[in-house]
Structure 1
């Protein structure tokens, strides 16, 4: 079968699926809802993750599961269930649960079923978007499709309210400014480093490096061609990582590289002061991402939304920008002047990288005022009460 034939088949299947969900939207108007049933689902995930997981776990921890029926839908009905003891249902049962539930929460994907006026369907999304999404992308497939099959989509700030409205093609009245529920984990007292075998007292400073993905591990996404050998920005070769490792040893510092869930990382050796972590490394030890994030003295990232959330902790940050022009041309950024909203060291070379580490080692924090200036653009709330605030807003009470 030719490439263009496959594209036609995919397009036909997509049209069939959209027709089906359109029909289900009409059906959804007449099917009665269970007032005490709440559906949580994440499309394409093996388990609840991100903002959806944070809200679900918070509700269980505070006894909401005693008053409400909490239903969890993940497509593959996996038996791999980190963090919670739910019994998930698959996609088909999930659609029926959607049609019967008074409340629905999701962070990834959607059923594309128009909510009933008797429902509250919340698109929590998965972070403040820096890269283009939805109707702001150059993906023509989104141009003529409805992306606002929800009652509300959540924004973490007033600044991003009109941006999200444009991205999902909805009125600003459907954008609620509340805050990402996953941020509540930044206020956790859990000793996450100990859970993954890191003794914090052995190091003067702990650095977390979270690059966004350039090439996805399933081959579907190519935001940028992978770097030589390592697929990391700045440190593209193992020789560079070896030199960086020696630098860290001399300063009694640890660098943890947290690989993006969609990313590839080519590793053929271990380093004493550079630790590479994948999702399975933390999940298998019962550690959520943001429980880990809060443990570090400083963050190194790039165009990932992690920095928007890390601002809440008011700690030093650095941004690797060596491939910013190419990345922006390929994927595209929502803010044309993005660097003006990056309150930290702008790293384009390994010398810049090392300079940031040295500043942190010596407790120099030249961008503290900038972080305070930028915070309101990305986070309206920084009190660790986002789960509670969301439930109160949609009138889910004990």
Structure 2
């Protein structure tokens, strides 16, 4: 490695951070290797998710606990924010800090039997271990090619449908015929079929309509990444100033409706210049954690969704409710889209400005659903399953046995 070039690219702070997060762990792994590399694998399932206890890993974990798999297996979380770990944890559940070097973490990496990943894939240390990449969202229009790096040692990659094989494999830089692709659906989808929703954790009164707005990541992530050159004067797209923001709140108030604006958990909040209003609730990654809100259980409770290039717009197809796509900054969206024909993957209103947003909300208030038929067709393409049994499929596919099984 050219140290000078590395320091120029990462900076001193970045280099120190890399050494702390990864290089020290490599030394610990080597030290533990003579004692653990031939030790029998234990009934241990290691789970990593997008933002701890959420997304695919979170739903998979909930399924394991609800069905008492923790009677037979120790479930170990790889946590990005260990300071916010819920207490008390269920029986046989432990955790380690994902970004801190430690003996405990590397011990589990050596003797764990199963590993599931949503975001940061660990390189498995032994051939007899089983690892699967669930991903932290479904299909989205934004181009993520090169941002997701899957280790060669990874055993499986979960897929949502056969229709998306070409697009998904290209985005993950895999061959479309890669034998590791497994069509079991994503665990998070099961949330849409959960009887319990999460809207009650946010509001205590009823509204005529509740609309969820989920802008995709544009800037932040802890690495100064910026996917769009246009962040917006208020730190959000579509709404250009406080006058429009207040106008939106008044419109919602007059129509006894609520807009929930959920900021992407990795989005930088430095540019966010707005606060919650009487009929607008702003959720950040921190408030979502404090309230214990799950994205998908919140989605199922809302009457419509405003999104953009994000996978959220496609996740919401499971709810079979109206969707609007915000393309207001498409010209400034640096990473581009993953398909050349985005219209074929959209089944909803196309909005580019504040007035378009108001028109869409008015249609929801009036009960109009212009894209119902197209949404059915798209839904059947994007997902192979609509039964709420993706976690069960994953467990069976991986060969994880219940306590009652021999």
TM-score interval (norm. to shorter): 0.7 to 0.9
- The offset of 1:223, in angstroms, is 0.9
1:121 aligns with 2:131: yes
- The offset of 1:386, in angstroms, is 0.9
SS across alignment from 1:247: helix
1:234 aligns with 2:241: no
From 88, 109, 130, the counterpart of 1:98: 109
- The offset of 1:227, in angstroms, is 3.6
In structure 2, the residue matched to 1:216 is: 220
- The offset of 1:341, in angstroms, is 0.8
Deviations 1:106-165 (A, max 9, x none): 11112234651x2210111111243223xx34x7xx8xx864431001111112223333
- The offset of 1:238, in angstroms, is 1.3
Deviations 1:347-373 (A, max 9, x none): 012221111111111111010011111
Contact kept? 1:33, 1:99, Cα under 8 Å: no
Contact kept? 1:164, 1:175, Cα under 8 Å: no
Gaps of 5+ in 1: none
Gaps of 5+ in 2: none
SS across alignment from 1:105: strand
From 49, 54, 57, the counterpart of 2:54: 49
1:389 aligns with 2:402: no
Alpha-carbon separation, structure 2, partners of 1:233 and 1:74:
31
TM-score (ref. length: structure 2):
0.84
- The offset of 1:11, in angstroms, is 8.0
- The offset of 1:237, in angstroms, is 1.4
In structure 1, the residue matched to 2:339 is: 335
In structure 2, the residue matched to 1:197 is: 203
**What's the C-alpha RMSD, in Å, of the aligned pairs?**
3.1
1:258 aligns with 2:262: yes
Higher mean C-alpha deviation, range 170-179 or range 265-274: 265-274
From 156, 165, 171, the counterpart of 1:161: 165
TM-score (ref. length: structure 1):
0.85
In structure 1, the residue matched to 2:122 is: 111
Taking the TM superposition and a 5 Å limit, the aligned residue runs for 1:1-398 are: 5-7=7-9, 20=26, 31-42=38-49, 45=51, 47-75=52-80, 77-81=82-86, 85=90, 86-91=93-98, 92=102, 93-113=104-124, 116=127, 118-130=128-140, 131-133=142-144, 136-137=145-146, 147-171=151-175, 172-199=178-205, 201=206, 203-216=207-220, 218=222, 220-265=224-269, 266-327=272-333, 330-398=334-402
Contact kept? 2:219, 2:231, Cα under 8 Å: no
Alpha-carbon separation, structure 2, partners of 1:90 and 1:227:
32
Contact kept? 1:209, 1:301, Cα under 8 Å: yes
- The offset of 1:2, in angstroms, is 9.4
Aligned length in residues: 380
- The offset of 1:42, in angstroms, is 4.2
